[in-house]
Amino acid sequence: MTVSEFIKTRLKELNMTQNDLANQLGITKQNLNNKLSRDNFSSKELCEIADVLKTEIIMKTEKEEIPIKY
């Protein structure tokens, strides 16, 4: 599953639209749509999206999982 697919799935689970997400991120729907179509996000953007979608970004090794925060 790509990041964009995950975001779209999570939006459905939360009964949110892409427009809702864009508004909460302070960007235009067109900007969000472009990022989703390219599946191209900075780590900071992903952390902001994770906060809105009530999820976490995790870096995982064989021994530990570390939540990523900005």
Query: What per-residue confidence (pLDDT) applies to 70?
Result: 79
- Give per-residue pLDDT as tens, 8-65: 999 999 999 999 999 999 999 999 999 999 999 999 999 999 999 999 999 999 999 9
Query: What per-residue confidence (pLDDT) applies to 17?
Result: 97
Query: What per-residue confidence (pLDDT) applies to 54?
Result: 96
Domain region containing 50: 3-68
Three-class secondary structure of residue 3 per DSSP:
helix
Three-class secondary structure of residue 2 per DSSP:
coil
Number of domains within the chain: 1
- Residue reference for tokens 């964009």: 4
Give the C-alpha separation, 20 to 26, whole Å.
Answer: 10
CATH number of the domain bearing residue 28: 1.10.260.40
pTM: 0.89
Query: What per-residue confidence (pLDDT) applies to 69?
Result: 84
